[in-house]
Copies of this chain bind each other. A is one copy, B any other.
Amino acid sequence: MSNYTAPVEDMGFVLKEVVEIEKLCNETGLDSSTVDIIDTVLDAAGKLAKEEIEPINKPGDSEGLKIDGSGKVTTANGFKEAYQHFVEGGWGSLQFSPNYGGQGVPFVVAASVQEMWHSANMSWGLCPLLTQGAVEAITLNASEDLKQRYLPKLISGEWSGTMNLTEGDAGTDVGSLKTRATPNEDHYLIRGQKIYITWGEHDMVENIIHLVLARLPDAPQGIKGVSLFLVPKILINDDGTLGKPNDLKALSIEHKIGIHACPTCVMSYGEEGGAIGYLVGEENRGIQCMFTMMNNARLTVGLQGVSVSERAYQQALSFCNERVQGVAPGFKEHGPIIRHPDVQRMLANMKSITQASRALTYTACAEVDYSLSSLPLEDLEKHQRRLGLLTPIVKGWCTETAQEVASVSMQCHGGMGYVEETGIAQILRDARILPIYEGTNGIQAMDLVGRKIISDGGLGARELITEMKECTKNSSLTGMASTSQLGRLTRSFDDFEAAVSIILKHSENKELIGKIAFDTLMMIGTISAAWQMLLSLERASNAFKNNTSSAEFLKEKTETVQHFLDFILPRYLSNFATISASSE
């Protein structure tokens, strides 16, 4: 029996009613036939996730990976087969350009499908996630020749991709990296060692395309002297067939607290003279090329937070419905622990955080679609600004809350949660990578405050606040949330504005800005999530009136939104008090 069922109803609701996918397709020029098949797509993906990808999750955690003396990595039992079915189903190519074999589906729809993979099996899901990043970096930066040669098989999923940034002394400080690239004929020779390379080596595909940051000879010091190279595991012949193995290998696999079935590799390039690599984009502009993929990867890591929360919530809900223990208030007989008010509080916290983080994440993913469209410049810039602002919020807030939801799910299980057999321990262990990779949440906070609030003088933040405030004026909300709940929300938007003013006022005080950045991230994250909950409530109400959703769905959404406003929204008050106190 699978422990996960894709929440297709809420996913479909967020796509259709909150994100307004039809409007999105019309405005961005994406194929609007997607709209009609969303339910079919979600159902089919849900089936694959439940029946093939989830069942290998726990065994994969126990079994882990094998690496032999030559650096060959064997994945856990069943991983390869599930991946094969994923490729056959065309699931990897959804959002990519039809010019290279993609299906041209909106990014946000592909994101909703990806939510399922990560709920079902985070270790496994990381392989397509990294491939997606490689496709984006190549699409946006590589020469047409490289695109023709590499994109089709990456997009189909027959090959997978990686991101090679980190070295032993270059983590957050990418500019300190030491890997070298030397020009040689029509290519470069890459020499150096990279660490923490997710799915750096494995047996699920016939070729792995590594995107590697390295330094050219005489490149400027630091981040401005870093270039991006495409380094295939197996070289490609002129006719497109696989040729000789390149000069690279996995040296070892990290022994991690979680994602045991995901090979996190130490990669060595050029031990026998130099790995052949091809420049992607301009020389010394590697970090800019990498950023295009990193930004979407950050959103996708936020999405993984949604996945973890959904999965952890489902597991807790199922346990609390089954576990009989004690007599709850208002009952006379022993019954399931879900009857106890404190258990209900835990479940409602989990559920409302999950739904809010989903709406927030999908909303940000929709901004990717708008940002890549041919809208008039002014509109486009506004969407890009919004995407930039939401990206660190989604990455930070949704992964921090995922830790909480996973931990609360374990708490619902009591002593049984602490035992590995129950399965929630793995979710908690797997989830803990989310606030760390793709830029720690501390880095997200600095990005938000520095590059997304201070650098545009608060423009993007104020646009968002204005939109939030308009939302509370919607008359259809009357009676669905109490006056005091709506009042709290309105006050939170004012406080958001006040926090932005504090930040702008002290923007030169880097010490202070650094100290309050994380609280700012969490504050704006909570308020943005509340805004999305309000929006969800309004849209659920409209959908019910328009007969596109049930009374039951509206009732549940109303309860969940109200719970969020009472139990989760108030959290920003402590962040705001800390921001205010620090700036006194």
User: Within 8 Å CB of A420, what residues of B?
Assistant: 255-257
Contact check: which of B411, B513, B571 meets A435 at CB < 8 Å? B411
Q: Does A554 sit at the interface, judged by CB under 8 A? A: no
Look across to chain B and name the residue whose beta carbon is closest to the beta carbon of A446.
Answer: B342
User: Within 8 Å CB of A577, what residues of B?
Assistant: 488, 570, 573
- In the assembly, what is the distance between CA of A564 and CA of B582, in Å? 11
- In the assembly, what is the distance between CA of A571 and CA of B519, in Å? 11
- The digit string for A165-178, where 1 denotes a CB below 8 A from any CB of B, is 01001011100100
User: Within 8 Å CB of A291, what residues of B?
Assistant: none
Q: Are A418 and B446 in contact (CB under 8 A)?
A: no
Look across to chain B and name the residue whose beta carbon is closest to the beta carbon of A170.
Answer: B325
- Shortest CB distance A302–B (Å): 17
Q: Are B418 and A330 in contact (CB under 8 A)?
A: no
Residues of chain A at interface, number, CB under 8 A: 78
Contact check: which of B342, B403, B416 meets A515 at CB < 8 Å? B342
Of the candidates A341, A428, A488, the one having the most CB atoms from chain B within 10 angstroms of its own CB is A341
Q: Are A172 and B414 in contact (CB under 8 A)?
A: yes
Q: Does A421 sit at the interface, judged by CB under 8 A? A: yes
Contact check: which of B256, B421, B566 meets A255 at CB < 8 Å? B421
Q: Are B344 and A515 in contact (CB under 8 A)?
A: yes
Q: Does A432 sit at the interface, judged by CB under 8 A? A: yes
- In the assembly, what is the distance between CA of A511 and CA of B340, in Å? 8
- Shortest CB distance A449–B (Å): 10
Q: Does A429 sit at the interface, judged by CB under 8 A? A: yes
Q: Does A35 sit at the interface, judged by CB under 8 A? A: no
User: Within 8 Å CB of A172, what residues of B?
Assistant: 325-326, 414
Look across to chain B and name the residue whose beta carbon is closest to the beta carbon of A517.
Answer: B342
Look across to chain B and name the residue whose beta carbon is closest to the beta carbon of A168.
Answer: B416
Contact check: which of B411, B517, B578, B581 meets A440 at CB < 8 Å? B411
Q: Does A484 sit at the interface, judged by CB under 8 A? A: yes
Contact check: which of B173, B345, B415, B567 meets A436 at CB < 8 Å? B415
Look across to chain B and name the residue whose beta carbon is closest to the beta carbon of A425.
Answer: B257
Q: Does A324 sit at the interface, judged by CB under 8 A? A: yes
Q: Does A407 sit at the interface, judged by CB under 8 A? A: yes
- In the assembly, what is the distance between CA of A435 and CA of B435, in Å? 22
User: Within 8 Å CB of A325, what residues of B?
Assistant: 169, 171-173, 176
- Shortest CB distance A549–B (Å): 27
- In the assembly, what is the distance between CA of A558 and CA of B344, in Å? 41
Q: Given that A410-B432, A418-B433 are contacting pairs, would A341 and B173 also be in contact in the complex, using a CB cutoff of 8 Å?
A: no
Q: Are B584 and A324 in contact (CB under 8 A)?
A: no
Q: Does A466 sit at the interface, judged by CB under 8 A? A: no
Q: Does A346 sit at the interface, judged by CB under 8 A? A: yes
Contact check: which of B173, B256, B445, B573 meets A574 at CB < 8 Å? B573
User: Within 8 Å CB of A346, what residues of B?
Assistant: 442
User: Within 8 Å CB of A482, what residues of B?
Assistant: 584
Of the candidates A255, A329, A581, the one having the most CB atoms from chain B within 10 angstroms of its own CB is A581
Q: Are B515 and A345 in contact (CB under 8 A)?
A: yes
Q: Does A75 sit at the interface, judged by CB under 8 A? A: no
Q: Does A419 sit at the interface, judged by CB under 8 A? A: yes
Of the candidates A256, A344, A446, the one having the most CB atoms from chain B within 10 angstroms of its own CB is A256
User: Within 8 Å CB of A340, what residues of B?
Assistant: 514
- In the assembly, what is the distance between CA of A106 and CA of B440, in Å? 45
Q: Does A343 sit at the interface, judged by CB under 8 A? A: yes
Look across to chain B and name the residue whose beta carbon is closest to the beta carbon of A172.
Answer: B325
Q: Does A144 sit at the interface, judged by CB under 8 A? A: no
Q: Does A505 sit at the interface, judged by CB under 8 A? A: no
- Sample 22 A-B pairs with CB under 8 A, ordered by A number: A171-B414, A171-B416, A172-B326, A173-B325, A173-B326, A173-B334, A254-B419, A255-B420, A255-B421, A257-B429, A329-B510, A342-B446, A344-B514, A345-B514, A410-B432, A411-B436, A415-B437, A428-B432, A484-B584, A570-B574, A573-B574, A573-B577
| Beyond A407-B432, A570-B577, 13 additional pairs, beta carbon < 8 A | A171-B415, A255-B421, A330-B510, A345-B515, A403-B407, A410-B432, A411-B442, A418-B432, A488-B577, A567-B581, A570-B574, A573-B577, A574-B574
